[in-house]
Amino acid sequence: MDQIRFGRPLPIHIPFHQSSSRFRVAFGAAGSGKSYAGCDEAIAWALEEPGITGMISRKYVTDLRDSTERVFLERMPDELLQQCKLTRAGGHYERCLFPNGSEILFRGLAEWEKKKSVNLGFLFMDEMTEFDENTFLGMRTRLRQRDRTPEARIKGYHDPITRTGLWGTTNPNGHDWVYDLFHPNGKRPIEDASSFFSTTLDNPFLPLDYVNDLLTLPRQYILRYVLCQFDDFAGRIYEDFGQSGTIVPHPTFDLNRPGPVVWMGMDPGTQNPTAGVWCYVDESNHRLIAIAEYKEPGLAVDIHVAKWRAIEAMQHMRVQWRVGDPNSITQRDRGTAIPLQSQYARLGFNFALGTADRDTRIWQLGRLIKLRRFTVSEDLPQLIEALKNYQWKDLTPSQRARGEDAKQEPLKKNTDLVEAAQFIAGRFLPFRTKAYEPVPQTWSDEVWAEVRRLRNSGRGDPISYSDLGIAT
C-alpha cells in the first residue's frame, strides 16, 4: 500500500489512543473532538490488525447515518478511502472493507439482541449514554473474534486475532451507568477500563464565535457541555431562591384591622393536582410574600372552593385578584361541558387568565426572586421545596447527537405550586424605585471574562482548567 498521510489527533486525545485498556470511554464536552477520536481509533485498529471485524454504532441508524458515518468518512484519508470498498444498505453505509481484509460494520443497536451471532474484534459506541447498560453488557460478549476475515486470509493473514476492545465517547450525563462503570469515582468500576476527559476549550480549532456562543448558555449547560462536568444537568432554574431574603418569617396581621390584600394564583389539575398560592401584597416593602399554599388532586370544583374559603378565612385575607392557567382553566369539563373558569365563577371565584407563554412566566418569577420582590413564608414547606427543586430538563442523547438547539425546558415534576406562583408574578410590575442590596452572583462572571480573553488572545494552546482557576 502507498504511504498515506493521516491528520494529527488533538493533544488532549493522545492518552486515549495510547491506552492499552480493553475498555475505554472518552468523556467530552461539545466540540471537543471525541467522536473524531473514536473514529480515528477504529481506523487505526482496522489497519493494525488485518482481517479484524469492527463495528461503529449508535443506538439508532438515523443518528449513525447523519453524524458518526460522516465523521468516519471525513477522517479517512482520500488515498485510503479510494482503496476501500464501501457498501450501502437501508440509506446508509453498512460496511467498509479495507484493502488488508479488515472490515468495519455500521450498525444501530436499538435492538442489540439481534446481533448475538456477530463476532467482533472491536466495538466503538458513539454517544454511549444513548445506550442502556444491558446493551453494553450484551455487546461486550460479542468481543470474541479469533479467525480473521476471509478477505484477509486470501491475502495470507492466518494467525489468530489476540486483541479485542471496546471504547465509547459521550457527553457527561450525570451519575448514570457510564459514570458508575468508567469514571474513577464511579460506584461499580469494571476491570481493565480507563476514562479520558476533554473540554470544549481543549480544541483550538473551533470557531471563536461557536465557543463564545456556548459561553452565553445557562450555567448548567456550560458545566456539562463546555467544561465536561458531571453534576446533574437538570440544574435549578431559580438558583437565587433559598438565599438570604427569599424565605422570610410568616407575617402577622392585626385581626382588628382590615385583612391583608392578597392575590391568588391557581394551576388547575386534571391528571395533576390542583395547586393554589396566596401572596400578600406588601406595599411597604415593595414585595410579594407567599403566605398560603394548597395542593390537592382529584377533587370537584365545589370541594376545592370550600377548602379555599377556609384558608382565606383563617388568615383574614382580602383577595383582590385571582389568576389561573389560561390553557387549563378555559377547557370544558368532560362531565358538564362547562369550562372550569365558569364553574369557579358561579361559586364566587373569578379567575383572570394568566400569561400563556411559559418562558415569560419563568423569567418574570425569576426576576422577582432575584430582586427579593417575591418571597415565601417559612411556613410553606411545599412551595419552598418546589421552588428549590424546579429544574431544567436535559436534552436526550439523540437530540444532542442531531445538534439540536439546547432549548430550555423545565422538568415537569412537582411544578404545580411553582406555576401557580408564576401566574401571580406576571401581574407584579416594578414598584416605586427603592434602594436594595445587590444580589450576590452565584457564578463567577470573572471566570467567563477570562475565558473570552484567552480565546480572543489567539494563542495556539488549548485552554485548560488551571488557566481559568477552576478546580478539577
Give tens-digit pLDDT for 327-363.
888 877 766 778 899 999 999 999 999 988 888 888 8
In this prediction, residues 258-272 reach a mean pLDDT of 87
Q: How many other β-carbons are positioned within 10 Å of the β-carbon of residue 87?
A: 12
Above pLDDT 90, what percent of the chain? 52
Cα separation, 298 vs 268, in Å, equals 10
| Interacting residues of 254 by C-beta distance below 8 A, sequence separation 6+ | none
Above pLDDT 70, what percent of the chain? 83
Residue 28 has phi, psi (to 5 degrees) of -145, 150
36-61 per-residue burial string, b: 16 or more CB within 10 A, e: under 16: bbbbbbbbebbbebbbbbbbbbbbbb
Q: How many CA atoms lie within 13 A of 284 on its CB side?
A: 3
What 3-state class would DSSP assign to 292? Answer: strand
Run of H or E residues at 452: helix 445-456
Q: What residue has cell string 453494553?
A: 136
Residue 395 has phi, psi (to 5 degrees) of -70, 150
pLDDT digits (tens, 9 = 90+) for 199-224: 998 888 888 888 888 887 766 678 77
3-state secondary structure string across 214-274: HCCCCHHHHHHHCCCCCCCCCCECCCCCCCCCCEECCCCCCCCCCCCEEEEEEECCCCCCE
CB-based contact 260:290 (threshold 8 Å): no
Q: Check residues 333 and 269 and name the one with the higher pLDDT.
A: 269
Which grid coordinates are listed for 219?
Answer: 450555567
User: CA 467: distance to chain centroid?
Assistant: 26
Question: Residue 117 pLDDT more than 70?
Answer: yes
pLDDT digits (tens, 9 = 90+) for 279-330: 999 988 889 999 999 999 878 899 999 999 999 999 999 999 999 998 888 8
For 31-111, strand residue ranges (E) read 53-58, 85-89, 92-97, 103-108
pTM: 0.55
Give the range among 2-6, 93-97, 386-390, 430-434 with minimum mean pLDDT. 430-434
pLDDT of 238: 85
Q: Check residues 242 and 394 and name the one with the higher pLDDT.
A: 242
What 3-state class would DSSP assign to 335? Answer: coil
How far, in Å, are 306, 404, 447, 467 from residue 470 at the CA level?
55, 28, 8, 8
In this prediction, residues 19-30 reach a mean pLDDT of 95
pLDDT of 450: 55
pLDDT digits (tens, 9 = 90+) for 45-78: 999 999 999 999 999 998 899 999 999 999 998 8
pLDDT of 170: 94
Cα separation, 178 vs 168, in Å, equals 10
| Residue-range domains of the chain with CATH | 11-225 (3.40.50.300), 247-425 (3.30.420.280)
